């Protein structure tokens, strides 16, 4: 499957359920919101997925019994998915209470209808997009320069930028653990970025991964807004129109 950032999908959802009818309804509704969907029937497969892949949305059916609660707890303990937007499918008030206690963000109560699913997903969509933005890496190539103790030590071009860091292409060898001050300018709209960074990794192709150690609060907000705009530009038009205010 193509990466969500380079396809018609902006994120990924995982459904854990044995109910084929509900699964079909959920897949259709999630794909309408530009989310690619993976489905697991067995809880073991679902736990494997949540431990090794990033999802913006997790949906679990509480008809699976204690395994449903186990899935939510594991998702909330996962480094990549602890802030994912979680939905629980419940059949009674006891299941609903258990789901919320285990970390579910929203509840879908049986009997489900296309309208009830759509309304709940619409209410959650802002959270889903924010979750996607947190891990969103926007591919862009602009000149970048790095310095240490006031001396220029690195020149290259950005590969991608996220809220938390960036990747660079450079011919300058750098060691993981090194700290640098990086400067670059993002276009459309223009945003000048100066950030203290730490080298996380490098490879033989001259690609370097950097994490931001410090961004001034105003610059961090501006970068978030810049990335949010770029993410919104990738949304399919049908999704954008769905969430535009109705004309009066």
Of the pLDDT bands very low, low, confident and very high (cuts 50, 70, 90), residue 5 is very low
* pLDDT of 148: 80
Number of domains in the chain: 2
* pLDDT of 2: 37
Same domain flag for 112 and 149: no
Q: Pseudo-torsion of CA 168, 173, 178, 180, nearest 10°?
A: -50
Of the pLDDT bands very low, low, confident and very high (cuts 50, 70, 90), residue 1 is very low
Same domain flag for 144 and 128: no
103 in a structural domain:
yes
Q: Which domain holds residue 186?
A: 138-234
Same domain flag for 23 and 102: yes
Q: Please say if the pLDDT value at position 150 is more than 70.
A: no
CATH code of residue 205: 2.40.10.220
Same domain flag for 102 and 55: yes
* pLDDT of 3: 42
**Rounded-to-integer distance, Cα 4 and Cα 160, Å:** 15
* pLDDT of 241: 66
Same domain flag for 105 and 178: no
| Alpha-carbon 41 to chain mean position | 23
Q: Please say if the pLDDT value at position 184 is more than 70.
A: yes
Same domain flag for 55 and 156: no
* pLDDT of 240: 67
Tokens standing for 81?
């998915």
The pLDDT of 156-161, averaged and rounded, is: 96
Same domain flag for 68 and 127: yes
Same domain flag for 52 and 168: no
34 in a structural domain:
yes
Decide if 224 contacts 133 (C-beta within 8 A). Answer: yes
* pLDDT of 190: 96
The pLDDT of 177-188, averaged and rounded, is: 94
Same domain flag for 77 and 129: yes
Same domain flag for 109 and 159: no
End-to-end CA distance of the chain: give it in Å, rounded.
41
Q: Please say if the pLDDT value at position 242 is more than 90.
A: no
Q: Which of 115, 135, 155 is the last residue of a domain?
A: 135
Same domain flag for 122 and 227: no
The pLDDT of 217-223, averaged and rounded, is: 95
At 80-133, the pLDDT tens digits run: 999 999 999 999 999 999 999 999 999 999 999 999 999 999 999 889 988 888
Same domain flag for 10 and 131: yes
CATH code of residue 60: 3.40.50.2300
Q: Which of 135, 159, 189 is the last residue of a domain?
A: 135
239 in a structural domain:
no
């Amino acid at each position: 499957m193509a990466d969500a950032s380079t396809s018609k999908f902006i994120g990924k959802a995982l459904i854990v359920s044995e109910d084929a009818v509900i699964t079909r309804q959920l897949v259709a509704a999630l794909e309408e919101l530009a989310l690619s969907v993976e489905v697991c029937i067995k809880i073991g497969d679902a736990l494997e997925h949540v431990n090794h892949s990033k999802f913006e949305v997790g949906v679990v059916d509480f008809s699976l019994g204690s395994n449903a609660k186990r899935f939510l707890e594991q998702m909330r303990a996962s480094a990549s998915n602890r802030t994912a937007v979680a939905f629980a499918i419940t059949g009674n008030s006891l299941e609903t209470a258990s789901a919320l206690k285990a970390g579910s963000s929203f509840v879908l109560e049986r009997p489900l209808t296309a309208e009830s699913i759509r309304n709940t997903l619409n209410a959650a969509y802002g959270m889903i997009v924010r979750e996607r933005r947190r891990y969103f890496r926007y591919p862009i190539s602009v000149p970048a320069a790095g310095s240490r103790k006031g001396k220029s030590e690195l020149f290259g071009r950005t590969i991608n930028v996220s809220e938390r860091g960036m990747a660079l292409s450079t011919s300058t060898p750098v060691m993981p653990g090194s700290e640098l001050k990086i400067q670059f300018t993002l276009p459309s709209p223009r945003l000048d970025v100066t950030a203290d960074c730490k080298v996380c990794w490098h490879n033989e192709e001259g690609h370097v991964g950097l994490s931001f150690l410090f961004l001034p609060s105003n610059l961090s907000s501006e970068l978030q807004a810049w990335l949010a705009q770029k993410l919104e530009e990738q949304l399919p038009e049908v999704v954008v129109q769905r969430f535009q205010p109705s004309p009066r």
